[in-house]
Structure 1
Amino acid sequence: DNFFSQPYIFSKSVKSHPLEIFLVIIIGGLLFGVVGMIVAVPSYTAIKVILKEFLADNKIVKSLTKNL
């Protein structure tokens, strides 16, 4: 139950799609274990903000940060 509801709740707070959050948590867990899962969403959000500020003209960055 929490496995599916947690990405949905996180997605509302960081304005990302729930599937994005789900994949970020899974990848963080695969790469860095439990610590990676905890740090994955804040790190992903920080990276999105940095990319929006410095690479705002890039098409991929625009599509990822349109709701930010």
Structure 2
Amino acid sequence: MITLDDTQLYRITDVMQLLRLSRSLLYDQIRTGRLPSVKQGRARLITANGIRSYIALLENEASR
């Protein structure tokens, strides 16, 4: 099981497990700017802070 504090950068497959999102929905969130990401070579990576920001965004939207 992947936990958020294990590393600073997460692969797409790890974030899919953490957030319980499909690959296509995850890439859609990245493309629209809701989930910040970085590229390292050909790999798309998500920072731990990016994941926390995305969760905060979802919580904010849910409280409206």
Higher strand share: 2
Q: Which has the higher contact order (CA 8 A, sep 6+)?
A: 2
Q: Which has the higher helix share?
A: 1
Same fold (TM over 0.5): no
TM-score (norm 1): 0.36
